[in-house]
Structures are given as structure tokens and as C-alpha cells.
Amino acid sequence: MIYTKKKRKLKLKIQWFLFTFIFIVSLVLLYTYFNQPKEVEPIIEEVVQVRELSSVEKLILGARKDALAMPEYISNYYAGGYPPDNEGTCTDLVWRAFKEAGVLLKDLVDEDIKTNRSNYSHIQYRDPNIDFRRVQNLTVFFKNHAEVLTTDIYDTSEWKAGDIVVFGKDEHIGIVSDIRNDNDIPYLIHNNDQPVREEDRLEYGYYTMGITGHYRFRFDE
């Protein structure tokens, strides 16, 4: 009887030992499994080749930036010529668009007035602080340094994004958009103090003010 009790106790000890051993081994194996170095799959990065924008595309982008920035329509005189970013008129949208395309329109106009003075007989005194911000001066400049195109808006194939448009008797100026309406007439990007500055307005201006200039500036690509 005593022997049987001892045998049972020994059996229990052995069982407990085996259970404990198996439990510890299991923990070690689980720990090893979850902490072993995982094979890292290589990350394949897709390299996107961004196409360089053309000068005309940059011009349109610059015009659109000014249109979206909605500078307050203020016609003022500024020492140095350039108004602050939050102010501007129709001509300021134009030179800002050209600046985005890498062309300083102010410098070109100033130099042209200086070297081709007879083309600007309407100017009594040269003033680089304001000359490049006058529609009449820009009209003369583009007439002599850009391709002169049709003023008929219904000849739609002759109108391209980035073209310069002058309205009335040098009253207003804007840039042709790359968006077109259902009749294939392009939108106009311009600042006339309106709430939306890229709009389907070319045809309206054609009938109300008249289009008196249509030019295409050739960039050195």
C-alpha cells in the first residue's frame, strides 16, 4: 500500500515534470518562430518620368496661377515696377504668366522701347516702372516680336492655348486657355476684376469690345 502511494507520487512528479518541460519547450519554440528574422521582400519603387513642360504650357500654368490667386484689381504705380503678389490688373497676369515660362517681359519691353523708340511714339517719357504694364505698349511689342494672327474667333483652328489677345482700343489683354467650349472656342484667362478669371468669355469680348490683336509669342525652346 505504501509502495503504491509512493509510486503514484513519483508518477505525478514525472507527469508534472514532463508537462512543465513540454510547456517550456513550446514557449521557446514559439518565441523562436515569431522572432526569427523574416525575409524582407524588396520594395519596388515605380520611377515616374515627369515630362518637362513646354514654355507655352508653363505660360498657361502661370496665367492660371494668377487667376486662381485672385489678386485684388488695383491699378497703381510701384517703384521698381512690380506690384505685390496680392495686387494686379490684366497686364500683371500676362507678365506673371511669362515669368512662369522663364521670360521677363518687363526687361524685353523696356529694351524694345529703348532701342525701337519710333514704334512707341505715343510714349512721351520712358518709365520702366510702368511701361510694361500698359496694354498699348504690350500691343506694340507683340505686334513686332510675335506672330500676328486672325481676330476671327470662329476660325477656331487658328486659336491655340497661350496666344495673347487684346480687346478694344488697347483696353484689355488676356491669354487663351487650353480649355474650349462646346463650339470649340477657347476660354480666356484674364483679370478684369471678375469672380472667375478663367472663363468662356472670348466670344463675349469679341462682340462687346472687339478683338483688335491676336498674337503668338515664339519661345526659344
Q: Residue 42 has what pLDDT?
A: 47
31 pLDDT band, cuts 50/70/90, is: low
Residue with cell 476660354: 187
CA distance 7 to 39: 51
Query: Mean of the pLDDT values across residues 65-75?
Result: 97
By residue count, the chain amounts to: 221
Tell me how far apart the alpha carbons of residues 157 and 45 are, in angstroms, rounded to a whole number.
42
pLDDT of residue 40: 45
Q: Which of 114, 123, 170 is nearest to 142 (CA)?
A: 170
Mean pLDDT along residues 70-90: 96
3-state secondary structure of 3: helix
User: pLDDT at position 56, please?
Assistant: 97
Q: Which amino acid is at 157?
A: S
- The predicted model gives 13-19 an average pLDDT of 63
Question: What digits encode the pLDDT tens for the residues 139-151?
Answer: 999 999 999 999 9
Average pLDDT over residues 126-153: 98
Superfamily assignment of 55-216 in CATH?
A: endopeptidase domain like (from Nostoc punctiforme) (3.90.1720.10)
Q: How confident is the model at residue 2 (pLDDT cuts 50, 70, 90)?
A: very low
Mean pLDDT of 87-113: 98
> Would you list the domain boundaries of the chain?
55-216
Do the beta carbons of residue 198 and residue 208 sit within 8 Å? no
pLDDT score for 51? 80
* Mean pLDDT to the nearest integer, 43-50: 54
Q: To which H or E segment does residue 131 belong?
A: none
pLDDT tens digits along 157-196: 999 999 999 999 999 999 999 999 999 999 999 999 999 9
The answer for residues whose C-beta is within 8 angstroms of residue 145's C-beta and 6 or more apart is 108, 112, 217
| pLDDT at 69 (0 to 100) | 97
